[in-house]
Structure 1
Amino acid sequence: MKNKYKVCSLFAGIGGIDLAFQQAGFEIVWANEIDKDACKTYRYNFRDTVLTECDIRKVNADDIPNFDILTAGFPCQSFSVCGNKKGFSDERGNLLFEIMRIADVKKPKIIFLENVANLTEHDNGKTFNRIHNELSERNYYIRYIIADVCNYGIPQHRMRTYIIAFKDYEMCIDFHFPKEQPLQKNIFDIINSSVKAEKKFYLKENSSQYLKMKSEINDKNQIYRFTDYGIQKSKVEVSFTLKANMGTWYNRVPIIKDDFGIRTITPKECLALQGFPQSFDFPDISLKNMYKQCGNTVVVPFINQLSKELNNIIKHI
C-alpha cells in the first residue's frame, strides 16, 4: 500500500479543509492557527495532528515536517465585498506572502488556496494577478474556479475562489474540477424540524424579534434571517451563506420555524450545513465563538471532491 500523501495546513481554522483532505486519504502532518478558540475546536477534533498555535509570521519554516501539499484558507476580509476590501494594504492581506515564504523553503508539489469570490475582481483584478504571479514565478502551473457550492449538490449558497497550483505541468493538465450536479439534499434534510432544540435557541414569544419574524414566516420549509433591510427569506431548498458575523450579531443567525416554535439554527446545524459529520463537535467555548467558527470555515464536501481528484492524479511525488 502506498504511503499517504502529506499535507501542511496554514490558517487551519477549525479544520474544514483538513477534514476534507483527510477524508480523501491524505495525512495532515502539521497545522497552524492563531485564534485560540479555533485551536481549541481543532484540537478537540484532530487529536493526532500537530497544531502550532501562533502568528504565522513567527513560524520557522525549517521546523515544519516535510509535506507534499500546502493548504491555506488565508484571511479573506481584505478582499471580501463584505469586508474592508483593502487587499494587500491590509496586513491580513499581506499574510499571503507568509504562505509564499514557507513554500520557498518547503517547496510543496501542490498549493491549495481558498478565499472569497471577490478575490478575482478585487482592485480591478490586480490582486489576483499578483497572486498568480507569485505562484508562476515559483514555477507553479495554476488552475482556479469560482464556485457556488449549491451547484454541486450542497444546500447552501456559498461562492468562493479555489486556486490549485502544481509544480508538475502534466498533473495540472490532468486535474479536473468537479462537475456541477443537482442538489442531493435540501435544508430540512439536514435540519430536523421535528426534533426540539434547547430552549435558549427559541425566540421569546413576547419579544419584538419573535413578533416580526412570526408575521413574515409563511413557509416552514425555508430559512429566514434579519438583515439591515428587513427580514430575508432564502431561496427554495438552499440556505443563505453562513457568515462569521453570526458570532458578532446574534440576530444574523438564520431562523427557522420548527414544530415547537421559531428559533435560530444551532451551531451543530450550521456545521451540518457546511457538510461536517455529526461526529465533529465543539469543546467548551462560547456560543458566540461557535457561530463565528461556523461562518469562518469551509464547505467540506466540495473540498473533499477536489481533494479526491488530487489523490487520483498525483504522480511522481
Structure 2
Amino acid sequence: MTVGSLFAGIGGIDLGFKQAGFDILWANEIDRNACKTYKLNFPETTLFEGDIRKLDVSLLSKVDIITAGFPCQPFSICGNQKGFSDNRGNLFFDIMRITDAVKPQIIFLENVAHLVEHDKGRTFNVIHNELVSRGYYLRYLVADACDYGIPQHRTRTYILAFRDVERCESYRFPEMVKLEKRVFDIIDKSVKADDSYYLSENSPKHNKMAKAITDDNQIYRFSDYGIQSGKDGICFTLKANMGTWYDRVPIIKDNYGIRTITPKECLALMGFPKNFKIANITPKSAYKQIGNLVCVPVINSIAKNIYYK
C-alpha cells in the first residue's frame, strides 16, 4: 500500500507507516530544517518542500492513503484555540483540496486531544462533515502514548476515514499495551552527555533545580508554575516550545550532574529508533521539530491494523 504525507515534519507518521510495510511515495513539508532531517531518513521519498497552499496537485501520484499531522496549535488548550479562524487551522481545507485530487481510499489525521472538544465540538463536526461529504466513513481514537508502551504522557486524537464502509466497520484500533519501560530505561544516566547540556554549578537555575530534584528517577522541567516533576518514571508531554524557550527542555540528574536531555534522547522518548538521523541544525530547531512529533509506536500499531496486501 502507498502513502502520501502532508505536514510530514521530520517523518514521525511516515516512519510508523513505513515500519508497518507501507511505501511512502511523496511528502510535503514547509519547514526547511525539518526537510533536511526528512531527506536524511527518507531518501527514496519525493519531498515537495514548501507551503501546502501552493502545492500543485498535478505533481502528486495516486496513493492508497493520505496522512496528515496538521497544525495543532489552533486547537490546543495550550494555544489561543482560534481553530479555523487561525490561518494554520484553515490548512485543514488544503488536505481536502488534495484529497479531491488524489482520491485516496483512506485518510489518516492526527491532532491534539482537545480537537474533539474544541469550540464545543463544532471543529470536529466540520472535519467530520467535510470527510463524510466526500464519501468517507470515520473512526477516531483519543489516546495517551503511555498506554501504548511509551513512557511519555502524550494524548492525541487519531482519525481514520475510509471510503469502504465495510473496512471502516471492521477496523479496530490497537489494544492498550502495558507500560514496561520508564524514562531511565531509555535514557542511560551512566553515559556522559556533551558539556553544553549541563547546568552550570552554582548558577541560579542549577541551584533551583538541585533543590527541586527529590527523586533521581524522575524527569523535571521549568514551567510557568515553577518546577514540574514527572511521576512514576513517565515523562510529561514534550512540547514544541522547547525550541523557543530553552529552559522548557526536560532536565534530569545523571551520574555527572544536572542537565537537559539531548535531542536524541527526546527522539527516544518518542519511540524513534537509534539509527534515525538528525540533520546538522541548531539545537533549538531540533527541539522544536521533536516537540511537534508523534510517538512512532502508536502510529505503527494503528498502521499495522490498516495494512492489507
Query: Same fold by TM-score, threshold 0.5 exceeded?
Result: yes
Partner of 1:273: 269
Partner of 1:78: 74
The alignment status of 1:126 with 2:130, answered yes or no, reads: no
Task: Let me know the Cα RMSD of the aligned residues.
Answer: 0.8
Partner of 2:96: 100
Partner of 2:234: 238
One-letter amino acid of the counterpart of residue 243, structure 2: G
Alignment of 1:27-42 (within 5 A): 27-42=23-38
Q: How far apart, CA to CA, are the structure 1 residues paired with 2:69 and 2:5?
A: 9
The alignment status of 1:216 with 2:212, answered yes or no, reads: yes
Q: How far apart, CA to CA, are the structure 1 residues paired with 2:168 and 2:189?
A: 44
Q: How far apart, CA to CA, are the structure 2 residues paired with 1:65 and 1:227?
A: 45
Q: How far apart, CA to CA, are the structure 1 residues paired with 2:233 and 2:106?
A: 36
The alignment status of 1:55 with 2:45, answered yes or no, reads: no
Partner of 1:13: 9
Shift of residue 181, structure 1, vs aligned partner: 2.0
Partner of 1:168: 164
SS at match of 2:265: helix
Partner of 1:229: 225
One-letter amino acid of the counterpart of residue 244, structure 1: A
Indicate conservation of the 8 Å contact 2:62/2:103, yes or no: no
Partner of 1:299: 295
Give every structure 1 segment of 4 or more consecutive aligned residues whose post-TM-superposition deviation is greater than 6 Å.
none
Q: How far apart, CA to CA, are the structure 2 residues paired with 1:107 and 1:294?
A: 30
One-letter amino acid of the counterpart of residue 287, structure 2: Y
One-letter amino acid of the counterpart of residue 306, structure 1: I
Partner of 2:200: 204
Shift of residue 184, structure 1, vs aligned partner: 2.3
The alignment status of 1:143 with 2:139, answered yes or no, reads: yes
Q: How far apart, CA to CA, are the structure 2 residues paired with 1:49 and 1:105?
A: 20
Q: How far apart, CA to CA, are the structure 2 residues paired with 1:11 and 1:232?
A: 31
Indicate conservation of the 8 Å contact 2:33/2:279, yes or no: no
Q: Percent identity?
A: 63
- Give the structure-1-normalised TM-score: 0.96
Shift of residue 63, structure 1, vs aligned partner: 1.1
Number of aligned residues: 309
Q: How far apart, CA to CA, are the structure 1 residues paired with 2:50 and 2:255?
A: 45
Structure 2 alignment gaps of length 5 or more: none
